Amino acid sequence: MNKNKPLKRTKIIATLGPASSSKEALSKLLLSGVNLIRLNFSHGEGTSHLETLKLVRETAEELKLPIGVIADLQGPRIRTGLLKDKSVTLNPGAKITITTAKGDDFQGDARVITTTYKGLAKDVGARDRILIDDGLIELKVLKVRDCEVECEVIYGGTLSEHKGVNIPGVKLGIPALSEKDLSDLDIAIKGGVDYIAISFVQSANDVEHLKELIRKAGSQIPVIAKIESMKAVVELEAIVNASYALMIARGDLGVELSPEKVPILQKKIIEMANEAGKPVITATQMLESMIKN
């Protein structure tokens, strides 16, 4: 061992997908310097992740490389519902209502759409912003009536089905872990992953709740809190203290913040994590300009 060689403090995390889940592809990744494998539970069935986890362990053992595995839970994603023609055009200045009174099979149009979050009308108020499809479409809440949220289109565009919804600055009454997350958590614990990441954290209580569930399952797997919204940023100090590590989800933060503010906030979060002695992960859109150059 070269004692003069500096200690490597920065690690590389790779998310496995269909193209990288073969033994050959995985071996190349590990030999290229990947230190941690992320299993994205937003996609695929739990049993398929168990098979991938087994492959990672076997490959790492054959290569005699220490590899950690992160189970990244999907979290409470809010999405839009079905549409009559699969997509609609929303024009700036137009009025549109988001209703929670219709069933999951209701097909919306340019005047009325649905959402998967049934508590939306209870959480938002006049002048709140609602961002759809990673911020490509922006609505402003005009008024709320019972189960209906009447909005004005600020930035329009083509809206397709099942697009993500962000509501900057509003604390939502949605549970931190969905039924799917609880099922995936059970699989991750039984599979013996090294870390569990919780998505769309709003407060330290979300982290503590997950830690308690892990303890009740007889495990001590460390929890990584993903910082994806301004709600989490406001509660950052408490979240840092409650978590083993942080993950800065730059893509989701970029939906709620202007792009030039993301690097500044990223640096602040990293500094706070460093001061607390907590590992910190910076994720999404890293070195993206080097894909083709």
249-274 pLDDT per residue, tens: 988 888 888 888 999 999 999 999 99
Annotated catalytic residue 38:
yes
- From CA 242, how far away is CA 102, in angstroms rounded? 38
Annotated catalytic residue 54:
no
Annotated catalytic residue 57:
no
Decide: residue 206, CB within 10 A, 0-12 exposed, 13-18 middle, 19+ buried: buried
For position 9, what pLDDT does the model report? 77
Annotated catalytic residue 226:
yes
Among the listed residues 129, 211, 226, 231, the single catalytic one is: 226
Q: Residue ranges per domain, the chain?
A: 13-76+176-284, 82-166
Residues of the chain with pLDDT under 50: 1
Letter for the amino acid at 208? E
For position 163, what pLDDT does the model report? 93
For position 76, what pLDDT does the model report? 85
Among the listed residues 79, 102, 140, 278, the single catalytic one is: 79
Question: In Å, how far from its chain's centre is CA 50?
Answer: 21
For position 204, what pLDDT does the model report? 97
Decide: residue 183, CB within 10 A, 0-12 exposed, 13-18 middle, 19+ buried: middle
For position 288, what pLDDT does the model report? 66
User: At the topology level of CATH, where does 82-166 sit?
Assistant: M1 Pyruvate Kinase; Domain 3 (2.40.33)
The domain 13-76+176-284 is placed in CATH, from the list 3.20.20.60, 3.30.160.270, 3.40.720.10, 1.20.140.10, at: 3.20.20.60
